[in-house]
Amino acid sequence: MKIRNLTDFASGLLYVIVGVCAAYIASGYTMGTAANMGTGFFPFWLGVFLAAIGVAVCASSVLSGAAREKLASWNWKSLLWVSVSILVFALLFEDAGMVLSIFALVLVSSLASREFRWTGAIANACFLNVVCYSAFVWLLNIPLRVWPDLWF
Amino acid sequence: MELLQHLATGLTAALTLQNLVYCFIGAFLGTLIGVLPGLGPVATIAMLLPATYTLPPTAALIMLAGIYYGAQYGGSTTAILINIPGESSSVVTAIDGYQMARQGRAGVALFTAGMGSFIAGCIGVLILASFAVPLAEIAFEFGPTEYASLMILGLVGATVLSSGSLLKAMGMVIIGLLLGLVGTDVNGAPRYSFGIQELSDGIGFVAVAMGVFGVAEIIGNLEKDELRGTFVAKVTNMWPTREDTRRMIPAILRGTAVGAFFGILPGAGAAVASFSSYAMEKKISRHSEEFGHGAIEGVAGPESANNAAAQTAFIPLLTLGIPASATMAMMLGAMTIHDIQPGPQVMVSDPALFWGLIVSMWIGNLILIILNLPLIGIWVKLLTVPYRVLYPAILVFCSIGVYTVSNSAFDIYLVCLFGVVGYMFSKLKCEPAPLLLGFILGPLMEENFRRALLLSDGNFSVFLTRPISLVLLVITGILLLSILLPAFRKTREKAFVEV
């Protein structure tokens, strides 16, 4: 048996894993009966159904008629910098305030680009601070912490 | 003339100065964000949702409708000017629209797109208004059994009419349904919340939409080469010649008919509509050799079709409360944030809101075509902003925007998580739209199943013995079987691959 379509095979595998986990966790909840569904009834069957679809997707990827397809390569650099920048923003936002977190988000996420330049990124962060302050704080009147407590 | 009366109700509601202003702001912002490359209507609506929070419901909905149309329109603008369709429904517009732009007729192409959208919008509003009342009357007969079957039809339809593998799309629907169940069930028992306090209220739909449609897109775009250096068309003359007009009008009307039909169907309505319209225009045109080289029908038809579909897609949402596409699912979520549960009851309980919304869609269309003439210069400028400046800005607006939904930093973490998950799905060629649809419908679907089976004492045959439910399930079955037919399968694949 040879896996012809690796993309499909991986997706199917993912469906099976998610489905089995969902059904397993759901089986720990009150199941109830069809007439009186418990917490776990609906998600349990969804999980089972998802796993079944996963098996079917995997099966179709080994059929002789399946298109040959390799796994697409991942752009780890962009993935890393973009996700880290959002995480840093989330960490900072409530305590350090909007201004500093925008700087952190823009500087870190800009590293993902192949054309990164410090000056450009800093200018962009300043500009976005002005825009966000006018839009969220001034125009929409949303109560956001702008600076950390220590400063102002 | 009941219809006229309803429209008059709507006009009085929509034509207050305040609502007009919000409609204008919505259309403006929607176009502004929609023009940005890589941001489709779903991400645009998610990003601009915070701007509507502080408004009264009618104004908020009107602004949202403006955002929705603006986002659609922005997508066509980029398709024509830089050959980058902002969304799937303007993919075909890029083919001939961009060629027209290269021949120095960008202005005419934009005008055609705008005019087509406007005419299609006018007709679409009339169809929407005349269908709303009778459909809502049927919907009042619906019990939980019918609703459960209707949702099955909607979700299956969404997978059959989407591009790509049917099985994989179904898997995405179920993953979406499961994600929608995270939180607390109706009995107050925690479910899939793993003891995390923030998850007990469920996952916010804005976070999912921003992550999967916004952040994942950005990561994907970053691996492509910078889009600069591509030819950005200069917009000079916007007025079509007499010959243009003669060829444009029938294409617009045909496109409207095709679009209105596909819009009501569940699934990728607007995209399928524009693909079908393009194929049709190409087939019946006497200038078929011009297609692919700047045929005006290739812009007029699909653009009218996707706008008519955008209009009629509101029919199932407003009358039945069931979204037919990912974008409509966003509208449903947005309405719920404003404490409006779309469905037949809205028309009765709040006619000013309902008809005001419908009329404001028409006004939004009008505003867009007026807006487009003087502001096209701004959109063109926006397109010359390099991506390395744009994407951090998108990330900033997404992060602050999602925070303001429920003032919780946890939602920002979710955006990040769903961004990574969405990127993984795109690498696995699993479509995100069915996931979002399932996600929004998950809790509703469980609730209706639960009630239907409670009433029938656990007897599943109730779905087949109640006539409306049976009809809905038979249609679902036909849809599923049709995919097995080689002829349909071929057209489906062709519609998405070839055009």
Q: At what angle do helices B432-455 and B410-427 cross, to 10 degrees?
A: 110
Distances (CA, A) of A34 to B178, B186, B442, B468: 18, 15, 18, 22
Chain centre distance of CA B484: 27
Q: Regarding predicted confidence, which is higher, A142 or A40? A: A40
Interface of B with A in 147-166 (CB under 8 A): 165
A125 and chain B in contact, CB less than 8 A: yes
pLDDT at A80: 93
Query: pLDDT tens across B16-72, in order?
Result: 888 888 888 888 888 888 777 667 778 888 888 877 877 888 888 888 888 888 887
* DSSP conformational letter for A148: -
**DSSP secondary structure of B126-157:** HHHHHHHHHHHHHHHT--HHHHHHHHHHHHHH
pLDDT grade for A79, boundaries at 50, 70 and 90: very high
pLDDT at B75: 77
d(CA A82, CA A55): 33
Pick A90's closest partner by Cβ from B181, B404, B413. Answer: B413
Q: Which parts of chain B sit beneath pLDDT 70?
A: 1, 37-38, 86-87, 161-163, 225-236, 266-269, 373, 486-499
Q: Which residues pair with B184 in a beta bridge?
A: B190
B309 and chain A in contact, CB less than 8 A: no
Pick B219's closest partner by Cβ from A22, A82, A144. Answer: A82
Q: Residue B343: which region, alpha, beta or left (left: phi > 0; alpha: psi -120 to 50)?
A: left
Pick A86's closest partner by Cβ from B170, B189, B399. Answer: B399
pLDDT at B499: 42
For A125, counting Cβ atoms within 10 Å of its Cβ (0-12 exposed, 13-18 middle, 19+ buried), the class is buried
Average pLDDT over residues A9-25: 94
List the single residue in B with minimal CA-CA distance to A128: B393
pLDDT at B498: 43
* DSSP conformational letter for A70: P
Q: Tell me the CA end-to-end span of chain A in Å, nearest whole number.
A: 68
For strand B183-184 and strand B190-191, is the pairing parallel, antiparallel, or unpaired? antiparallel
pLDDT at B358: 82
Cα R_g (chain B), whole angstroms:
22
pLDDT at B227: 53
d(CA B472, CA B455): 19
The token pair at B84 is 């980058």
Mark yes or no for CB contact A8/B412 under 8 Å.
no
3-class DSSP state for residue B190? Answer: strand
List the single residue in B with minimal CA-CA distance to A95: B409
Contact in structure between B253 and B120 (CB atoms under 8 Å): no
Pick A124's closest partner by Cβ from B54, B189, B392. Answer: B392
Q: Regarding predicted confidence, which is higher, A145 or B485? A: A145
The helix (H) or strand (E) run that includes residue A97 is helix A76-110
Q: Which of B478, B462, B481 is nearest to B470 (CA)?
A: B462
A92 and chain B in contact, CB less than 8 A: no
Q: Tell me the CA end-to-end span of chain B in Å, nearest whole number.
A: 43
pLDDT at A20: 95
d(CA B62, CA B49): 12
Tell me the domain boundaries of chain B.
2-148+205-423
List the single residue in A with minimal CA-CA distance to B194: A25
The token pair at B212 is 């999967």
The token pair at B73 is 């329109």
Mark yes or no for CB contact A42/B170 under 8 Å.
no
Query: Is the reported ipTM for this assembly greater than 0.90?
Result: yes
pLDDT at B229: 45
Q: Which residues of B touch A46 (CB under 8 A)?
A: 174, 177-178, 181
Query: pLDDT tens across B220-262, in order?
Result: 888 876 554 455 666 667 778 888 888 888 889 998 988 888 8
Pick B218's closest partner by Cβ from A82, A121, A136. Answer: A82
B394 and chain A in contact, CB less than 8 A: no
Q: Is the pLDDT of residue A152 over 60?
A: no
List the single residue in B with minimal CA-CA distance to A33: B458
pLDDT at B493: 60
pLDDT at A82: 93
d(CA B449, CA B472): 15
Q: Which residues of A touch B410 (CB under 8 A)?
A: 90
Q: Which residues of B touch A112 (CB under 8 A)?
A: 219, 222, 391
